[in-house]
Structure 1
Amino acid sequence: MSTHLYLTRHGETVWNTQKLMQGWKDSPLTDNGIKQASQLSQRLCNITLSAIYSSTSNRAVQTAEIAKGERILEVIKYDDLREISFGKWEGKSAENNEKENPEEWKTFWEAPHLFRNESVESFLKVQERMVDAINKIIKQHPFENVLIVTHSIALKLLMDYFEKNELKNIWSTPAIPSTSLTLLEIKNNEHEVIYKYDTKHLES
């Protein structure tokens, strides 16, 4: 018997299209983001889910509500599933942040394991809270299927933990597509990645 975690990133948002950093701030799903969440719902329609968890950010909650389809389940909102807090960088473009904090911006992208900023949450802190949240969910739902809606960097850091990738390599893989699906199987306290950042439901 195994526990199966279906992990996804929220659908495309207005700020995604404007290339503004969101973090703990928020913007609504675009029409395309709503379509992506609906396509995810179709992909999941034949899977028996025991619970649906979401980051407390509205873009994740909206994605989760669409993805749950006709299921009579309440979306459980969990602060620890939120994206990294970008602090003073939120709501601004990459170009703006690079101009205002050139050294810190360079470290963020080129040496993330060394990154420090007074207002931006550390990668390690995000990873620790994500792992803690996921372990609590696993404990709460033994041998069940659970959908978890979270965010790009938060999900990257979680998968890096399970795959034993060092923090310095967080940017070695491409950005996670909106509503892509990752399946994590937990059996006898062992974690196996069945598939990762899969987007076949978006191809139709």
Structure 2
Amino acid sequence: MSTLVYLTRHGETVWNTKKLMQGWKDSSLTDKGIKQAKQLAQRLSEVPFDAIYSSTSDRAVKTAEIIKGKRPVQVIQTDTLRELSFGNWEGKTFDENERESPKEWSAFWETPHIFSSNTVECFSKVQERMVKTINYIVKQHPNETVCVVSHSIALKLLLDFFENNTLENLWSSLPIPPTSLTLLKIDSVTNEIIFKCDTTHYNA
């Protein structure tokens, strides 16, 4: 029996437009972000979700609620779907963080596989909790269809695991766009990515 897992990132936020690092802090969806979520909701309107899971960050919850629409299911919130915690980098621009902690900042982008910090969550920890969470969700919903709303780096790390990409190559692929859609087919033997980071609903 296979479980279908639709993965998406929250819609665009105010901090996204200002290029501020969010992590565990939060920022409201912009009008564009709400539109992106509604476009995705329309695309998924005929998908019979048995459950919808979301990060506890408000930007993800709001996106999940829009996707849910009138479905008779609750949005199940879990901390383990949150974004990587940027610690004392949160709420600051890339330029500010590079200026204030140049060595850590360089390591974050250039050597993610060996990156470590006293305040910023390490990539392997985020990948571990994301994989563990998806495996838990699949176990709870055998042969069902679920939606999962999370965040850019968290989803990138999850997909890298399924594609057997190493942390060393984390930044070699493009960022995950807001409300882009990925579909996983998971059973006890195989994990298959049906499609990845699709944004065709933007044109709806």
Return the TM-score normalized by structure 1.
Answer: 0.99
- How many Å separate the matches in 1 of 2:189 and 2:48? 22
Name the CA distance, whole Å, in 2 between partners of 1:161 and 1:37: 26
* Equivalence map 1:1-204=2 (5 Å): 1-204=1-204
Q: Across the two proteins, how many residue pairs are aligned to each other?
A: 204
Q: Deviation above 6 Å: which 4+ runs of structure 1?
A: none
Q: Separation in 1 of the partners of 2:39 and 2:2?
A: 26
CA–CA separation in structure 1 for the residues paired with 2:81 and 2:31: 24
- The runs of 5 or more residues in structure 1 that have no matched partner are none
Is the deviation greater in 182-191 or in 18-27?
182-191
Q: Distance in 2 between matches of 1:126 and 1:142?
A: 24
Cα displacement (A) at 1:189: 2.7
Tell me the TM-score normalized by structure 2: 0.99
Percent identity of the aligned residues?
Answer: 64
Cα distance in structure 2, aligned partners of 1:79 and 1:166: 24
* 1:140-187 Cα shifts (integer Å, max 9, x gaps): 000000000000000000000111000011100011000000000013
Question: Aligned equivalents of 2:51 and 2:136: distance in 1?
Answer: 13
- Aligned-pair CA distance for 1:73: 1.0
Cα distance, 1:188 vs structure 2? 3.5
CA distance in 2, matches of 1:113, 1:105: 14
* Structure 2 residues not aligned, in runs of 5+: none
- How far did 1:107 drift? 0.8
Q: What is the alpha-carbon distance in structure 1 between the residues aligned to residue 51 and residue 189 of structure 2? A: 20
- C-alpha separation between the residues in 2 aligned to 1:189 and 1:104? 39
Q: 3-state SS of the aligned residue for 1:85? A: coil
Q: What is the one-letter code of the residue matched to 1:85?
A: S
Tell me how far apart the structure 1 counterparts of residues 70 and 41 of structure 2 sit (CA, whole Å). 9
- The one-letter amino acid paired with 1:8 is T
1:51-79 Cα distance to aligned partner (Å, 9 max, x none): 00000000000000001111011100010
What is the CA-CA distance between 1:94 and the residue it aligns to? 0.2
**What amino acid sits opposite 2:92 in the alignment?**
K
1:120 partner SS = coil
How big is the alpha-carbon RMSD for the aligned residues of Structure 1 and Structure 2? 0.7
